[in-house]
Homo-oligomer: A and B are copies of this chain.
């Protein structure tokens, strides 16, 4: 890459990160190019699709997620590993508003720039899930697709301003379905204040 192209690329990415943080994953790409002081074509050459841009923005988070799964498998109980990783997963998908819809669409589309990252995420989750199931602590009838779906649903809920305040509680509720025997997961006991 020519040094001027490299500079364009990096600046574009920095501006995109700002704009997407503010406006979400469906931000205007025209706006990104404009704010970066760059021609539209330059943006499209560096990032041929919205997914490609998002993938680059989330790259390091995705990598950290995979790494974290391996660490947790070695260091934590099957139960704690699954809960902790799931939480991180949701935070990662929630990094940019609206990103989760694109990720969900990508899991079934090998053409998408987000495909590999999402498959990796699903696989990491699958390992932790199987491990917890072997221990009898996670629901036996969950497939990795189900875990990915539940994580996606929680990330989507967090994206909705009306539900965001109850995000933690909703996580607990869904967790209790994944790990029915979880310590302190007695659903008859009030764990979080329930507003009217």
A177-196 near B? 1/0 per residue, CB < 8 Å: 11010000001111110111
Q: B105 and A141: CB pair below 8 A?
A: no
Q: How many residues of A contact B (CB 8 A)?
A: 42
Within 8 A of B (CB), among A155-196: 156-157, 160-163, 166, 169-170, 173-174, 176-178, 180, 187-192, 194-196
Contact of A177 among B136, B160, B176, B190 (CB under 8 A): B176
Which residues in B have their C-beta under 8 angstroms from that of A40? none
Produce 1/0 per residue, A98-122, CB < 8 A to B. 0001001101100000000000000
Residues of A within 8 A of B (CB): 101, 104-105, 107-108, 136, 139-143, 145-146, 149-150, 152-154, 156-157, 160-163, 166, 169-170, 173-174, 176-178, 180, 187-192, 194-196
